């Protein structure tokens, strides 16, 4: 059993190496808000309402659904593995969530109970940084734990990283696996400095938590 679990761990972590939590800019590049607390009272009131009103997304190919803020828009993935992106494109605190599903044929015959045992073991921040950093990003993980994505045990990390020369991301990454597939749900606030990116994530954090807890596998 231990040999099988070690093998599965290597297989799935190897698959995860290709899945860094890189947010992909929308076709219409979102406005980076300097201060999420700034803005008109009307904008703040609308934004507060957006965090509670919800829409629903369903994917028949992979069999999953989740809720997201009503004001956000659904966008196509910029790479094949990104199944869906939802993003706030208004001139408010900017945030985006992306779900990456990667096929891993070598693990198609794996038992779900063995996979679940792997993801039930809490990761360390260093382990998540190693996995997420292999995609080429310098990712800082400030907390790491085991949790759940619907009925599946998952590894969850709070992450911070630079997107390009003038943009940063701060957010949450949730990773799990099913036989032959790895799943990475990444939600980040975006900003022109690390502090603003974190503020923007905190502004939408309740909506992000709702999205994650609403996620269901078929």
Nearest CA to 96 out of 166, 177, 31 is that of: 31
Mean pLDDT score of the chain, rounded to an integer?
A: 79
pLDDT tens profile 57-75: 999 999 999 999 988 999 8
Cα 31 to chain centroid distance, Å, stands at 20
Give 91's pLDDT tier (boundaries 50, 70, 90): low
End-to-end CA distance of the chain: 28
Alpha helices by DSSP H, 38-168: 41-50, 112-120, 125-133
Which residues lie closer than 8 Å to 33 by C-beta, 6 or more apart?
39, 91, 92, 93, 94, 191, 196, 200
Q: Which two tokens stand for residue 174?
A: 């949730």
Q: How many CA atoms lie within 13 A of 122 on its CB side?
A: 5
Residue 25: pLDDT above 80?
A: no
Which residue pairs from 118-127 have beta carbons closer than 8 angstroms and sit at least 24 positions apart in sequence? Answer: 118/5, 118/8, 118/9, 118/12, 118/177, 119/146, 119/152, 119/153, 119/154, 119/155, 119/175, 119/176, 119/177, 120/146, 120/153, 121/146, 122/146, 122/155, 123/155, 123/157, 125/157
CB 159 within 8 A of CB 145: no
pLDDT tens profile 141-184: 999 999 999 999 999 999 999 887 778 999 999 999 999 999 99
CB 61 within 8 A of CB 168: no
pLDDT tens profile 114-144: 999 999 999 999 998 888 876 666 899 999 9
Q: What's the pTM value of the predicted model, to 2 decimals?
A: 0.81
CATH topology of domain 2-217: Protein Transport Mog1p; Chain A (3.40.1000)
> Around Cβ 120, how many Cβ atoms within 10 Å?
14
CB 157 within 8 A of CB 61: no
């Amino acid at each position: 059993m231990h040999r099988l679990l070690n093998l599965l761990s290597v297989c799935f972590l190897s698959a995860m190496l290709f899945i860094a939590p890189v947010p992909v800019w929308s076709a219409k590049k979102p406005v980076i808000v300097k201060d999420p607390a700034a803005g008109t009272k009307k904008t703040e009131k609308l934004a507060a309402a957006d965090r509670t009103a919800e829409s629903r997304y369903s994917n028949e190919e992979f069999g999953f659904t989740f809720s997201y803020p009503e004001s956000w828009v659904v966008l196509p993935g910029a790479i094949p593995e990104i199944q869906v992106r939802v993003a706030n494109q208004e001139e408010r605190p900017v945030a985006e969530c992306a779900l990456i599903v990667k096929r891993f044929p070598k693990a198609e015959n794996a038992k779900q109970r063995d996979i679940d045992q792997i993801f039930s073991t809490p990761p360390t921040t260093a382990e998540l940084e190693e996995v997420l950093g292999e995609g080429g990003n310098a990712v800082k993980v400030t907390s790491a734990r085991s949790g759940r994505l619907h009925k599946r045990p998952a590894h969850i990390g709070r992450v911070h990283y630079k997107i390009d020369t003038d943009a940063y991301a701060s957010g949450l990454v949730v990773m799990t696996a099913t036989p032959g597939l790895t799943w990475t749900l990444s939600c980040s606030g975006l900003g022109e400095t690390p502090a603003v990116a974190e503020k923007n994530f905190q502004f939408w954090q309740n909506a992000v938590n709702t999205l994650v807890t609403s996620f269901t596998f078929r």
